[in-house]
């Protein structure tokens, strides 16, 4: 298995632009998580899906952030409009069962200038 | 809300020395997981602890879960340069909600 696949690996965009991050979970995993990692705030859970349904989006910073999971093999995290404070590494993770641990993707390093 | 604190934030050791990181939760946990993130990498799952007082070992790594299920520790015996990275704990509540600690970054001087 190729693991959790995220794209792009790096994204540099100007303030105000729309940014879309993509994630393909491991086949068969039924839970998917989006995390944001910064030096100041550490690893923050933004949203998680179970069987493609959003279960907890309390970590989504504000209305500029939205996430979708149209099917079991694909999810997107969209920021519109982007702001410099959104600069961070965004990780997607998936799991079959909680006690198996989460498998993280390689992350998307987002820089908003 | 649930808070998970990790100490120390940074630890610098000489190769061969031992290393310990501690994780403390503000609430009782159902289980706790540990992850390692190499510089520039992504978190990698190491282990899960579920039972009160549980101790698990992986080669030179020893993981403990406190009796009250509110704290945990990771101990590395005789560190090697390959141990460098940031070690995170993630505490889970009965509701399935997880909170990651801020991590302990370990550097090892050869």
Task: With beta carbons under 8 A apart, name residues in chain A contacting B91.
Answer: none
A103 to chain B: which residues are within 8 Å by CB? 45
DSSP chain A: ----EEE-SEEEE-TT--EEEEEEPPTT--EEEEEEEETTTEEEEEEEEETTEEEE-TT--STTEEEEEEETTEEEEEESS--GGG-EEEEEEEESSGGG-PEE---EEEEE-
Closest chain B residue by Cα to residue A92:
B42
Q: What is the pLDDT of residue A1?
A: 65
User: B1: pLDDT confidence band, cut at 50, 70 and 90?
Assistant: confident
pLDDT tens string A27-71? 999 999 999 999 988 999 999 999 999 998 989 988 999 999 999
Give per-residue pLDDT as tens, B78-105: 999 999 999 999 999 887 778 999 999 9
- CA-wise closest residue to A42 among A54, A25, A59: A59
The whole-number average pLDDT for the span B61-89 is: 97
Neighboring chain A residues of B86 at a CB cutoff of 8 Å: none
Scan residues 43-102 of B and list those with Cβ closer than 8 Å to A.
43-48, 50, 88, 92, 96-102
The whole-chain average pLDDT of chain A stands at 94
Cβ of B43 within 8 Å of Cβ of A106? The answer is no
Q: How far is CA A113 from CA A1, A9, A13, A18, in A?
A: 36, 17, 6, 13
Query: So what's the pLDDT on residue B92?
Result: 92
Q: Cα angle at B74 between B71 and B80, to 5 degrees?
A: 165
């Amino acid at each position: 298995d190729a693991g959790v696949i995220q794209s792009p690996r790096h994204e540099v965009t100007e303030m105000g632009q729309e940014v879309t991050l993509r994630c393909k979970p491991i086949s068969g995993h039924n839970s998917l998580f989006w995390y944001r990692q910064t030096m100041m705030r550490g690893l923050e859970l933004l949203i998680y899906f179970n069987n493609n349904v959003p279960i907890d989006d309390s970590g989504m910073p504000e209305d500029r952030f939205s996430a979708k999971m149209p099917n079991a093999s694909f999810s997107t995290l969209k920021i519109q409009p982007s702001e410099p404070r959104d600069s961070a590494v965004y990780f997607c993770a998936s799991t079959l069962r909680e006690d198996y641990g989460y498998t993280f993707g390689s992350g998307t390093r987002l820089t908003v200038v | 809300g649930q808070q998970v604190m990790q100490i120390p934030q940074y630890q610098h050791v000489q190769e061969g020395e031992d290393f310990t990181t501690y994780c403390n939760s503000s609430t009782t946990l159902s289980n706790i997981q540990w992850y390692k993130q190499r510089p520039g990498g992504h978190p990698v799952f190491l282990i899960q602890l579920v039972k009160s007082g549980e101790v698990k070992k992986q080669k030179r790594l020893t993981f403990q879960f406190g009796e009250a299920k509110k704290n945990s520790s990771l101990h590395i015996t005789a560190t090697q340069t390959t141990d460098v990275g940031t070690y995170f704990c993630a505490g889970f509540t009965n509701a399935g909600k997880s909170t990651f600690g801020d991590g302990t970054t370990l550097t090892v001087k050869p």
